[in-house]
């Protein structure tokens, strides 16, 4: 009996080490989870049944009231979306002017919560979308009001999501009002995040909205994360104590959104944009710019810098200089940035859904 215990203990320890250090056991785990994860589904079944029954026997007045409510909400969201389309357009134009890479439009997909992690000291949930649905490790998860967390474990048809408030989780954020950067760490309390290492003099106050800054290159930028609840200045402490409440309903949301963002690095993205721009440029140059080329060549060499910085001093040099220096920036940028312009329907749909 003692020998058996010894063998099994050694085996367990070996398994743990291998599982922690290498990816050797991932397929085994995913095969086992194929069967075992059904138990989350089964334990969730009574609630599903109850919901089904409740929706079957929902009274007419209730349904009418709900319909009314949804209609007004829809109207509000539609209104907001109209404005958003204009704003998106404007944003793209401004970005073109700044010659920065275009805003990436994220695709989202709806997932449903099917289980909570039974360990009360971790904040993890199980959702009903997995590797076969195209979910990837580290993928951000939202609900209607803000960021919830990221995917930490993939199984064939389910995945495990680590919530923002887990003690092992941190997310780079930005104060929406002034762009102050900070890192929001989970505390183990589902209603609280803490901002670490915020200077005592930093401009942050109660009610500030914290949005994801995208600096960790894991979460997309600009999604609401939390609102600051209290800022405590303690002269005995080196840093201010900043507590925030997550905007997402971390322990109440049942339907979540999985964000499929561009998984290229910013460098690659900029590279791709540059290549696309160059191609566009060449096309435009071949078709239209043949008469312009001889005119710009002498114009740019004497004074390209003043023409670029102050566009109005002499009307003669300005049009001659700008095509040469700014040409890749202004004119071809429009066709290069076409994808985001042509899909405003997708962007407001995703944005509208979270408001």
Partner 1 sequence: MSSTHSGNGWMVWLTFAIGLLLSVSPLPQFMEILRPLWLALLLAFWALALPHKVGMVTAWCLGLAEDVLYGTLLGQNALILTLITFLVLSLQQRLRMFPMWQQCLVILVIFGLAQLVQLWLSALTGNRQPTLALVLPALVSALLWPWVSFGLRGLRLRFKIN
Q: Which of 124, 129, 243, 351 binds partner 1 (CB under 8 A)?
A: 124
CA distance 145 to 262: 22
251 binds partner 1 (CB under 8 A): yes
Binding mask 177-216 for partner 1 (x = CB under 8 A): -----------x----------------------------
137 binds partner 1 (CB under 8 A): no
39 binds partner 1 (CB under 8 A): yes
Q: Hey, what long-range contacts does 175-183 have (CB within 8 A, 24 or more apart)?
A: 175/203, 175/204, 175/208, 175/209, 175/210, 175/228, 176/208, 176/209, 176/210, 176/211, 176/224, 177/208, 177/209, 178/203, 180/204, 181/213, 181/215, 182/210, 182/242
Q: How far is the CB of 121 from partner 1 (least distance, A)?
A: 4
Residues β-bridged to residue 116: 125
298 binds partner 1 (CB under 8 A): no
**Tokens coding 351:** 């944005």
Q: How far is the CB of 177 from partner 1 (least distance, A)?
A: 33
Closest CA to 92 of 351, 346, 304, 344: 344
Q: How far is the CB of 99 from partner 1 (least distance, A)?
A: 43
Q: How far is the CB of 186 from partner 1 (least distance, A)?
A: 11
Q: How far is the CB of 27 from partner 1 (least distance, A)?
A: 12
119 binds partner 1 (CB under 8 A): yes
Only one of the segments 26-34, 57-65, 95-103, 294-302 lies at the binding site for partner 1 (rule: CB under 8 A); that segment is 26-34
**CA of 2: how far to CAs of 5, 11, 13, 71, 244, in Å?**
5, 14, 16, 69, 52
94 binds partner 1 (CB under 8 A): no
What is the DSSP secondary-structure string of 154-182? E-SS-EEEEETTSTT-EEEEEETTT--EE
Question: Which residues are CB-contacts of 256 (< 8 A; sequence separation ≥ 6)?
Answer: 110, 111, 112, 113, 127, 141, 142, 143, 148, 161
Only one of the segments 93-101, 120-128, 258-266, 330-338 lies at the binding site for partner 1 (rule: CB under 8 A); that segment is 120-128
Q: Which of 22, 23, 27, 43 binds partner 1 (CB under 8 A)?
A: 43
- What is the binding site for partner 1 (CB under 8 A)? 1, 4-5, 8-9, 11-16, 18-20, 25, 28-29, 32-33, 36-37, 39-40, 42-44, 47, 115-122, 124, 152-153, 160, 167-168, 188, 251
């Amino acid at each position: 009996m003692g020998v058996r215990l010894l063998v099994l203990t050694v085996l367990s320890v070996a398994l743990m080490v291998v599982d922690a250090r290498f990816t050797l056991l991932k397929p085994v785990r995913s095969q086992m989870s194929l069967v075992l994860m059904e138990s989350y589904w089964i334990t969730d079944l009574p609630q599903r049944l109850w919901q089904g029954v409740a929706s079957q026997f929902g009274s007419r007045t209730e349904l009418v009231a709900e319909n009314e409510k949804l209609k007004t909400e829809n109207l509000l969201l539609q209104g907001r979306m109209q404005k958003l389309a204009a704003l998106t357009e404007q944003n793209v134009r401004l970005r073109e002017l700044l010659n920065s890479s275009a805003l990436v439009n994220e695709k989202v997909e709806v997932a449903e919560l099917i289980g909570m992690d039974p360990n009360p000291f971790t904040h993890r949930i199980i959702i009903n979308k997995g590797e076969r649905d195209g979910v990837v490790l580290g993928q951000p998860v939202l609900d209607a009001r803000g960021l919830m967390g990221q995917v930490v474990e993939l199984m064939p048809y389910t995945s495990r999501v680590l919530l923002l408030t887990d003690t092992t989780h941190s997310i780079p954020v930005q104060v929406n009002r002034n762009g102050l950067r900070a890192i929001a760490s989970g505390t183990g309390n589902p209603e609280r995040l803490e901002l670490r290492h915020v200077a005592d003099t930093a401009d942050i106050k109660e009610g500030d909205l914290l949005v994801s800054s995208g600096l960790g290159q894991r979460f997309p930028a600009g999604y609401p994360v939390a609102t600051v609840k209290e800022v405590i200045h303690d002269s005995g402490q080196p840093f201010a104590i900043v507590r925030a409440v997550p905007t997402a309903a971390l322990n109440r949301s049942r339907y979540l959104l999985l964000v499929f963002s561009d998984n290229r690095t910013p460098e690659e993205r900029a590279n791709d944009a540059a290549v696309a721009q160059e191609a566009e440029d060449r096309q435009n140059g071949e078709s239209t710019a043949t008469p312009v080329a001889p005119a710009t060549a002498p114009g740019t060499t004497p004074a390209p810098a003043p023409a670029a910085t102050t566009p109005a001093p002499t009307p003669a040099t300005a049009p001659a200089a700008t095509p040469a220096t700014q040409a890749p920036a202004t004119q071809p940028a429009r066709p290069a940035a076409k994808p985001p312009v042509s899909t405003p329907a997708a962007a407001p749909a995703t944005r509208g859904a979270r408001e």
